[in-house]
Every structure is written in structure tokens, then in C-alpha cells.
Amino acid sequence: MPPELRSKLGRAQIEIVNFHVFKRRETLKAPKVTRQILGQGAESVGVFTETPDQMVRRAVGSLARKRNLVVLNDEAHHCYRRKPDATDELVAKELKVLKGEDRQEAEQRDRDARVWLSGLEAVAVKLGVRGVYDLSATPFFLRGSGYEEGSLFPWVVSDFGLIDAIEAGLVKIPRVPVDDDTLQPNDLPTYRTLWMRIRDKLPRKGDKIDEPSLPVELEGALLSLYGNYERSFNAWRAATTDDPDATPPVFIVVCNNTTVSKMVFDWVAGYNRTIPGQSGPAAVSGHLELFSNVVDGRWTSRPSSILVDSMQLESDDAMSDEFKRAAAAEIDVFKAEYRARFPGRDVDALSDSDLLREVMNTVGKPGRLGEHVRCVVSVSMLTEGWDANSVTHVLGVRAFGTQLLCEQVVGRGLRRMSYVTDPDSGHFLPEYAEVYGIPFTFMPASDVPKDHQYRRATTGKRVWAQPDRGHCRITFPRVVGYRYEIGDQNLAAEFDAESRLVLSNADLPTYTEVEGITGAQEVHTLDDLRTVRRSSVAFKLADELVLRLRDDPDDNGVRGIRPCCFRGCSRLSATGWAIRVSSC
């Protein structure tokens, strides 16, 4: 803000609230029997519930004695209820294409919108509203609203879209898989449509998982994306050796439920394994070294990876017991660090939600609890407004039924790290975000499958500059599409012995080509696995086989394994069984 205007801003009285404050609360806790006598259900509004006026006085805080307020709706696409004349049948038809958790989220959005807009209407009745200003990166109607999905709000004054921002260099360039060595005709790359390939192989919410075991496609995606992250991390470390405030690049994983996120987190960051005959659990290192919270069999004092439930942290509700159990180890570690950093404060006065919210909101911020976090495994979509500018890699392990969801999750990784211009060109240098598992479509095209089409409808309205301010008018080119033109020269091909290509790895790609709407292409590979010693491969394989035999000695799926006892065994189990793995 220009300095000459800051004093005027300071004259404004502002209250920042979450839409949850518009929920009408209970003024008195009444027993269930009392509610039944009064004819009230557990969720109904009755004599013990706030009146709209009481809710408004509580929600607006210091503005309760003011009149004619100005409302600024952030993330305003969540504010509006369904179309007034939309029938339940029409909305149900729109939601029918969504299934499972995607549908639950859409229905939850509708309930939240009712709370939000009803609250603002109550404020207007009680105190008066002079004007409402909506702010959103996606200013259009959502699926299930009764409007055509993607149609802009009729009151939009300015819409500077994501593609415009990418082309202008104001954000990172997202690079998504465009090719790999498993492609069949008409298929999208494996790591772009990851969810469709693994959804039936993942545990359901509430399932008990003792040892993290990922579908091979998900494990391949993590290893492939991590290989690129490791190179980015090493480049960052070499470039910031003299900068004590530098924070590392961040890798985020967005999962569909608590069970899957816990399984992924344990695989990535480490977990406790119960071993028969031992008094306590043994700490097992994570599979990704830079993200592991276990080093040399001990939990680190400063976690590199965190597990968060962004939907719970965003609401006012207490954290679920299930999630508290899943994140118990990291919560204890952050409490210890908080005590060390702020000896005069009472860490026990903080709830677990407060602590994890502080960690998540300070990822990438030097001198704060989240400064050293490298990996964030999230349940549900990371909350809108969470914009750590150090996010460089994004993996989606959930359904993405709409391009809105794709755009919002990809958007968590698009804030630039540097706004310093290149001295030679005078422009920003390109920065990239590598994106797996999210079927993000930059622009609609005729050859894109129907499920991945996306069209933002226009309203047909034109905004004119005032006659006396025509010289200030800003014009933007209206991009309607892209076309590739090839010159008139003839193309000739000469084939020799080196032109032959053997296709393999039909189920799991060994390389993945990523590309953005502009900027450089890059290839991610699994070549890092070639550096693993053959004896390490034998050990890990034997370890998995021993665990299977320990749990089920008659496992017919383990073939060619016999009990043996000789020097040089690859692995000796707690029961005296030994496994020899040949280096075939």
C-alpha cells in the first residue's frame, strides 16, 4: 500500500472472523431428556439456542455498536447458497455424478454456504450492511448450486485468471505429467490420473493399519517425485549455505481420509513397529530420507514431516481422538520445542489444535515452529489461504471431481519464492511446481477426455471506464486458444538399429515427463534406485517376506522360501527362521 494511504487504513475498525462464528450456539447445556421433553432434537433450534440478534452481537465483536458495516468476503465462492429456483431434483442430478467423499464435500459446502450467507443476512437486519465486496481466485458457481458449474458470478468486476497469472510470470508454473513409458493409446499418464488407478487398493476410513503398505503406483509416484525433490533440495542447500534464515522447499501430499494419510505419513516419515519379545516398540525409518522423522532408530527432536487435518484445524471443533492418536508423536515433539523456545509461556494452555495450526501456518517462515518442515501430509484439501511460498512439489491422493478442486490444490504450490527480476532480461526468472496425481487441465481442448474438460462461462457483460478516466483503462488480450504451426519444410525419417525401442514396465513408469503451460520441460525418473546396493535390495525383500511368514507361517503366497540355518543369512527372524535371497 502506498505510504500516503496507510494512515487512512489505520482509521478503519476491522474485525476478522471465520464464517463458523455465524453458527448459532447453545446458551445452556441441556440434558438429552430435557430436550426430548421440550420436543427438541439434538440438532434442532430451540429455547436453548442463540437468537439471530445474540449471534450477531457475539460474531461481530467490537463492531456490535456500529451501523452500516462494510463486508469483505474472502474465498467468496463458498458464500452463496444454491440458485433460488433450483429444485431439489436438479441439484440432486448435479450431485449424482459425484460419489463418495467428493459428494460429501459438495453437500458440506452447501451447508457451510447456508451458515455463512444466513449470518450475513442477520448482520444486515441487526446492524445494516452498506456494501459487500467479494474476493476469490475462483469467482464462479460450484457444482450442486443449480447454476452451470464454472459460470462467473454476475457481479464480477475484474477476473484475472490463473492462466493469465502463469503467463505473466506472477506465480510458479505448474508442471504436470504429459508422457511416460506406460502409456497406452488414449490414456493419460499414470501419475496424472493416479487416483483412478489406486482408489480400490487403498484402505477405507477407520480400517486398522499395522504396517504401511502402499499400492505400487502410489509408491512409484512418491519415489519419482521425491527424486526430483531431492535434487531441488540439494540445489537449495548449496545456494543458501550463508543464509541462516533460508527455509527448505516443501513437498505436500493431499489425502482423502485419516486412514490413508496416516499410512502415507508412516511410509514417508517413519513409524513404531511392535516386535514380539521386545518390551517396547522399535522406531522404523521412513522410506524417504529427507522426510524421515526417525534417524538411526531414534525419533528426531525436530520433525521434517508433519501430519495435519486441515479441515479440523480450519473449524472451531475439537480435534478428533482418531487424529490425535495419529499425530501424537509429532504433537509431543512440538510441545517440547515450544517449551524450549518460549520458556515463559505455558504450553499446556495450548490445545493440540492450536499447536498444529501454529506449525502448519508457519511452514516456510524462519524462526517459527514450522521453519524446518519439508513434507506436509494433509487430510482433505489444504485450507484455502494456506500459501507457503516454499512449496515446490504437490501429490494428490484423493478424488478430484472438478477442476475447481484441481485448481485450488495446485494453487497451494504456486506462490513465488522470489520477486527479484533478472538483471539481463528485466523479467522474473521462472519457478516451477511439480504436480502429480491431480488431473489439472490448463486449457480445454478437443482431445481431452470429457471427465477432464473445464469451461469457465462468461457473463456477457462489459465493464466500461468512466469518460474522465479513460486514460487509466487497462486492456487485456482475450486468449481463445493456442495453435501450433509447423513450417513448410519436408520432414524425413531415417531408421537404423538405434531407432528401436523396447517397451516395458506396463504398470509402473520408470520415467515421467512433466510440462507446464509455458517454460521448460523436465523428466522425472527412478534412476536413483539404481544406486541401491544389491545386498540392500535383498535385505528389504527378505524383511518383507519374514514379516509375512511371521504373521502367517502357512502363507502360500510366499513361494520358494524354506526354513534354513547357515552363515551369511540375509535376515534372521525373531522365531529363528532365516531367509536366503538369491541375487538373480
Question: Residue length, the chain?
Answer: 584
Burial 352-390 (b: 16+ CB within 10 A, else e): bbebbbbbbbbbbeeebbbbbbbbbbbbbbbbbebebbb
Residue 450 is placed in which grid cell? 470429457
CB 373 within 8 A of CB 333: no
Mean pLDDT on 191-201: 90
pLDDT for residue 63: 93
Q: What is the pLDDT of residues 388-439, one digit of tens each?
A: 889 999 999 988 876 677 877 888 888 898 888 888 888 888 899 999 998 8
- More confident site: 260 or 497: 260
Strand 173-180 relative to strand 511-515, pairing: antiparallel
Asked if the model's pLDDT at residue 222 lies above 80, the reply is: yes
- More confident site: 89 or 65: 65
Model-level pTM?
0.67
Of all residues in the chain, what percent carry a pLDDT higher than 70? 74
Mean pLDDT on 59-63: 92
Asked if the model's pLDDT at residue 245 lies above 70, the reply is: yes
Average pLDDT score, the chain: 77
Q: What is the pLDDT of residues 121-147, one digit of tens each?
A: 999 999 999 999 999 888 888 776 777
pLDDT for residue 98: 64
pLDDT for residue 82: 78
- More confident site: 451 or 527: 527
The winner for highest mean pLDDT among 45-59, 181-195, 262-276 is 262-276
Orientation of helix 352-361 relative to helix 328-341, angle to 10°? 80
Asked if the model's pLDDT at residue 197 lies above 60, the reply is: yes
CB 524 within 8 A of CB 434: yes
Q: What is the pLDDT of residues 425-480, one digit of tens each?
A: 888 888 999 999 988 776 443 333 333 333 333 445 566 778 888 888 777 777 77
